[in-house]
Amino acid sequence: MTERLAVRKTYKLWIGGAFVRSESGRYDEADGVNFPRASRKDVRDAVAAARQAATPWAARTAYNRGQILYRAAEALESRAATMGVPRDEVEAAVDVLLHYAGWTDKLHAVLGGVNPVAAPFLSFSLPEPTGVAGIVAPDAPPLLGLVAELAPTLAAGNVAVAILSETDPLPGLDLAEALGVSDVPAGVVNLLSGRRQELATALGAHRDLNAIVDAAGDPSLATELDKLAAETIKRVRHDDPASTYEDATDDALDRLEAVTELKTAWHPVGA
Amino acid sequence: MTPSVETRTSIVWDYAPAPESADHIRLKDRYGLFIDGDFKDPADRRYVPTINPATEEPIAEVAYGGPVDVTAAVQSARAAHPKWAALRDLERAKYLFRIARLIQERARELAVVETIDGGKPLRESRDVDIPLAAAHFFYYAGWADKLVYGFPTHPAREVRPLGVVGQIVPWNFPLLMAAWKLAPALACGNVAILKPAETTPLTALLLAEICQEAELPPGVVTILPGDGSTGASLVRAPGIDKVAFTGSTAVGRDIQAALAGRDTRLTLELGGKSANIVFEDAALDQAVEGIVNGIFFNQGHVCCAGSRLLIQESVRDEVIAKLWQRMRRLRVGDPLDKNTDVGAINSAEQLSRIEALVAAGEDEGATRRSIECELPERGYWFAPTLFTDVSPAHRIAVEEIFGPVVSVLTFRTQAEAIEKANNSRYGLAAGIWTDKGSKAFEVASALKAGVVWQNTYNHFDPTAAFGGYKESGFGREGGPAGLRPYLEIVT
């Protein structure tokens, strides 16, 4: 019997729920595999897709969003062997997803509440998603680092455009496939591989982005992102560059708050 | 047929002048910088008079802090921080309670000074600014020894103050904004350097006296009057751990960019172009009162002013007719008169900004109506103004005017109202006028705004978070959320 020739995977970007090559036609290579080198136009397409998905995602019930994140954890666990990272890292990423799946309907109790105002009103403050968040994932750990930044963003009701690890983008592109077969709606997560400097600055400069979560650990990029963010008063969180994501859920509330707005509503009480 | 609005309100009662006496006000001729518990001359001896915008008369001379003074202020604050942060929480609370009480005790004096320095009607400084400032200190005083209950902690987590905070406040609610900034910062164990606005430094300087009266340890509160350059050196000064700014989006953007790459925390409370939405099922007379309060309160110098009035088409003519009738009854003039509704514009500079945007509104084809009223000869004044035939692209529908000018837009459906309301780079506040509860809740949740008022407008409370979405800034003031920017949670 002749030896079977393997069917290779063509790695693609994940934008608006579709697996696509970079519009630029460019590619890079890692571990003998070609993968797309996304362009600034891909970043713009991804932000546009995310914006379209933002309102319907935020409008889902907290329970439903929690179940979708749980389903994503299931999908990831079942593909543990194919993610291209050690099993431990996949398991840690699954646990992070589970942790945040349970946050979707707890955030209101922790951050919000009824305000005992000195006037006849029912006044309450409640958390709402900031909107579209840009994520600059760390180089390592390539899967856990990405999931630890993505999960709180989604749990708080945001949609995301993430720039994957530059040195090891394949696990991130594999994650797209796991999320693609779970119930995450199209456009809620968009994943781009390529050169970080080029993509992160295009993302930071985008005027329709509400927040940036920067976990690249590069001080000069961090400064540049801060300056770009100031243009449209984006919310910025820089992750600790020393983070190994071993305790990726210890600062869950800080991560959730970084992409959360608090809305105060006043309704009259009385006739 | 119901009688026309004109018939029902045809009797106009005039009011006799009712000026609040200013005899009891004892202001000094000159105020220095409040550093290290004492008033000090600025390094370059620069003093600039602060002007009463209703008369253009100087009130007192006020020091301008320069870079050397900023350095001295930060040094004094840094030195004061360890002791203040180590104080027993309840003792820290007691100082803040003292300040709250002293503000209440000196409320009349503070109200008059606020009014002569800034031009706002005494009715507002007396009934809103000063009582709310005291309430903020009282509210956050109570938090000082309860911080661990305010944040979900973990055996391995504790809350800690940040250190020295630099705070810059605007001229529209001078003492109230100082209270919003100082009270939570101090309650959390930080020390603060506050820069009051260039045109309205006096009540912050009286607050410095109150800090002395309260025997607050030197260096815990520093008041550094000055202009934009003082603020610019303060936010850039080494040794500042956190900056809190309330003011324009343009300056906020500069501050955010200036802090790029630095470990200094930042919260911003910036501009707005808030939508006030009137549905056809609203109680229209009540709505008209709310519209007036939403835009003419404090001459429209309010970041959350309801400056974009969205009226459902079916009631457009009726609401505009009622609004115009109501506007014509507004009393514009002497801010110290207890019957005055609309006082003086805060400064000549602000007046020219309002005039320029109003001229742009006319040039772009909107229809302008300003009420006819006798304006005093001296001082800075602008008659309450209503723009109709406004398109969403007009500058008066997009840019913050920060004056007594309302732009009317219309909508047909609820979905259109939401879309128009959210069509702004700002997202500070919004108003909804409807008698249907479920509709109000649905619209409130769809609006991208930090504060949503239903059947009311411009209500504030120390227990309720305030702050914006999008380019209206980030971070919240008020309520438990208002503590968060002044603490770090250490694991």
pLDDT digits (tens, 9 = 90+) for A99-110: 999 999 999 999
Thinking of the domain A13-268, which architecture would CATH place it in?
3-Layer(aba) Sandwich (3.40)
Q: What pLDDT was estimated at residue B205?
A: 98
Decide if B352 contacts B389 (C-beta within 8 A). Answer: no
Per-residue pLDDT tens over the stretch A194-252: 999 999 999 999 999 999 999 999 999 999 999 999 999 999 999 987 778 888 888 89
Q: What pLDDT was estimated at residue B154?
A: 67
Domain ranges of chain B: 30-270+472-490, 272-462
Phi, psi torsion values for B297, nearest 5 degrees: -55, 130
Distance CA B53, CA B334 (A): 10
- Catalytic pick from B303, B304, B400, B477? B303
**DSSP states of chain A as a string?**
-PPPPP------EEETTEEE--TT--EEEETTEEEE---HHHHHHHHHHHHHHHHHHHHS-HHHHHHHHHHHHHHHHHTGGGSSS-HHHHHHHHHHHHHHHTTTTTHHHHH-EEE--SSSEEEEEEEEE-SEEEEE--SSSTTHHHHHHHHHHHHTT-EEEEEPPSS--HHHHHHHHHHHTTTPPTTSEEEE-S-HHHHHHHHHH-TT--EEEE-S--HHHHHHHHHHHHHTT-EEEEPPTT--STTTTTTHHHHHHTTEEEEEEEEE---
Contact A125 B464 (CB under 8 A): yes
Contact A113 B480 (CB under 8 A): yes
Per-residue pLDDT tens over the stretch B30-47: 999 999 999 999 999 999
Residue window 264-323, chain B: list those with CB within 8 Å of chain A. 268, 270
Nearest to B269 by CA among B296, B257, B251, B291: B251
The answer to whether residue B373 is catalytic is: no
Judging contacts by C-beta atoms under 8 Å, the chain B residues touching residue A267 are 437, 440-441, 444, 454-455
Q: In what order do the strands lie in the sheet with A189-192?
A: A18-20, A13-15, A189-192, A159-163, A132-136, A211-214, A235-238
- Catalytic pick from B114, B269, B400, B477? B269
A234: alpha, beta or left? (left if phi > 0; alpha if psi -120 to 50): beta
Q: Determine if the pTM surpasses 0.80.
A: yes
Query: How far away is chain B from the Cα of A230, in angstroms, using its nearest Cα?
Result: 5
Q: What pLDDT was estimated at residue B8?
A: 52
Distance CA B426, CA B424 (A): 5
| pLDDT < 70 regions, chain B | 1-13, 152-156
- Closest Cβ–Cβ partner in A115, A231, A262 for B463: A115
Question: One digit per residue, pLDDT tens: chain A, 271 residues?
Answer: 689 999 999 999 999 999 999 999 999 998 889 999 999 999 999 999 999 999 999 999 999 999 999 999 999 999 999 999 999 999 999 999 999 999 999 999 999 999 999 999 999 999 999 999 999 999 999 999 999 999 999 999 999 999 999 999 999 999 999 999 999 999 999 999 999 999 999 999 999 999 999 999 999 999 999 999 999 999 999 998 777 888 888 889 999 999 999 999 999 998 6
- Closest Cβ–Cβ partner in B152, B154, B256 for A110: B152
Q: What pLDDT was estimated at residue B3?
A: 45
Distance CA B73, CA B233 (A): 11
Contact A267 B135 (CB under 8 A): no
Q: What pLDDT was estimated at residue B12?
A: 63
B491 has a chain A CB within 8 A of its CB: yes
The answer to whether residue B303 is catalytic is: yes
Judging contacts by C-beta atoms under 8 Å, the chain A residues touching residue B471 are 232-233
Domain ranges of chain A: 13-268
> What superfamily does domain B30-270+472-490 belong to in CATH?
Aldehyde Dehydrogenase; Chain A, domain 1 (3.40.605.10)
Residues B365-372: contacts with CB within 8 Å, 24+ apart? B365/B389, B365/B391, B365/B394, B366/B390, B366/B391, B366/B394, B366/B396, B366/B407, B369/B324, B371/B327, B371/B328, B371/B330, B371/B332, B372/B328
3-state SS, residue B416: helix
- Closest Cβ–Cβ partner in B249, B437, B445 for A233: B249
Q: Which fold has domain B272-462?
A: Aldehyde Dehydrogenase; Chain A, domain 2 (3.40.309)
Query: How far away is chain A from the Cα of B478, in angstroms, using its nearest Cα?
Result: 10
Distance CA B417, CA A96 (A): 40
Query: How far away is chain A from the Cα of B337, in angstroms, using its nearest Cα?
Result: 26
- Closest Cβ–Cβ partner in B270, B437, B456 for A121: B456
- Closest Cβ–Cβ partner in B461, B474, B491 for A123: B461
| ipTM score | 0.94
Residue with token string 């005790």 = B105
Distance CA B449, CA B457 (A): 14
Per-residue pLDDT tens over the stretch B159-195: 899 999 999 999 999 999 999 999 999 999 999 999 9
- Residues of A with a Cβ under 8 Å from any B Cβ are 110-111, 113, 115-119, 121, 123, 125, 128, 130-131, 210, 219-220, 222-224, 226-227, 229-233, 235, 250-251, 253-254, 257, 261-268
3-state SS, residue B134: helix
Query: How far away is chain B from the Cα of A91, in angstroms, using its nearest Cα?
Result: 24
Distance CA B354, CA B375 (A): 16
Contact A267 B464 (CB under 8 A): no
Distance CA A134, CA A209 (A): 7
B172 has a chain A CB within 8 A of its CB: no
Which of B452, B474, B488, B490 to mutate against chain A (most A CBs within 10 Å)?
A: B474
DSSP β-bridge partners for residue B19: B337
Contact B260 A226 (CB under 8 A): yes
Query: Quick one: tokens of B134?
Result: 């005291």
- Closest Cβ–Cβ partner in B135, B252, B489 for A254: B489
Contact B451 A266 (CB under 8 A): yes
